[in-house]
Every structure is written in structure tokens, then in C-alpha cells.
Amino acid sequence: MIDRLKKAFQEASDAIVEQAGSFGENAKERGYQLIEEWLRIFPRMQAYGLEMVNFSLTVALSPSLEVEMRGRHEDFTPEKVEQILKESKGNTAMVSVFTTVKSTYTLYKSTGNPLSDPLIIRLKIKITPEIKVTIGQAWT
């Protein structure tokens, strides 16, 4: 009886390990696909006036790409951001970035402080992407 329990436990453990390995490979593949999708938008963002100043790839169970881009506020007036959003309709990545830019400007304007250069956009591309928009000097 104990031998059968040990065998059943071992078989269940082996199956779990195999599934975890499969999940890890699927997560890794999905992470790389997501990174490739985002790589296509960087030339468009640069054409709008953003300069890529930092590029970093993390290879792990869930790979990620971190990119920092900087621009000038005068290149991203509310009208210009709206135009970019209209031109980017259907491109989830671009819409996500510029909706975040628009929201950041709106919230920052409510503080009553003047804009200080540069405009900084930090992207952390992974299975759940993060977009961070900073006005002024970056935090270290």
C-alpha cells in the first residue's frame, strides 16, 4: 500500500514538474512575442520626436524589455497627442503609451506647476506591460 502511494505521489510530482516546465516555456515564448510586437512601435515613437536613451533586455522565465525614451514637451501638445492617438487607432501599444502621456499631462496640469523638461517615457515590456511617464528629471 505504501509503495502504491509513493508511486502515485511520484507520478503526480512528475506531472506537475512537466506542466511547470511547459508553462515556463509558454510564458517565455509569449514574453518574446510581446517584445517583438513592441519593437515595431519604437521607430514610430522616434518619428514623433522621442529619443531612445536606454534599452535593456532581461532574459528570465518571463523575459522583459525596458526602454526609456525622452522628448520635449513642446513636441507633445494636447493637440499633437490627440493626433497621434487618432493615427494609432487599432495599435494597442501606441494607444496605451499616448493615453498614458495624455493622462499624465492632465494630472500634472492640475498641480499648477510649470512643465520641466524632459518628458520621459519608461516602458517595461513583459507579459503585463508597464508604462511610466515622468515630467522632469528621472528618479534614480
* Residue 1 belongs to some domain of the structure: yes
Residue 20 lies inside a defined structural domain of this protein? yes
- Residue 124: how many other CB atoms lie within 10 Å: 16
DSSP H/E element including 55: strand 51-58
Is 92 domain-assigned? yes
Q: Is the separation of the CB atoms in 18 and 26 below 8 Å?
A: no
Range of the domain at 54: 1-135
Q: What pLDDT does 5 receive?
A: 47
3 state DSSP class of 64: strand
Closest CA to 51 of 64, 68, 65: 68
pLDDT on residue 15: 52
The string of pLDDT tens digits covering residues 62-83 is 788 999 999 999 999 999 999 9
Q: Which helix (H) or strand (E) holds 122?
A: strand 119-125
In a domain, 59, yes or no: yes
How many structural domains are present in the chain? Answer: 1
Q: What is the mean pLDDT of the chain?
A: 83
In a domain, 140, yes or no: no
Q: Which grid cell sits at 82?
A: 490627440
Q: Please, what's the largest Cα pairwise distance for the chain?
A: 77
pLDDT band per the 50, 70, 90 thresholds, residue 140: low
Q: Could you tell me how many residues make up the chain?
A: 140
Quick: pLDDT tens for 26-37: 777 888 888 888
Is 25 inside a domain boundary? yes
Residue type, 132: K
**In terms of pTM, does the model score above 0.85?**
no
Q: What is the pLDDT of residues 37-57, one digit of tens each?
A: 899 999 999 999 999 999 998
Q: Which helix (H) or strand (E) holds 15?
A: helix 2-39
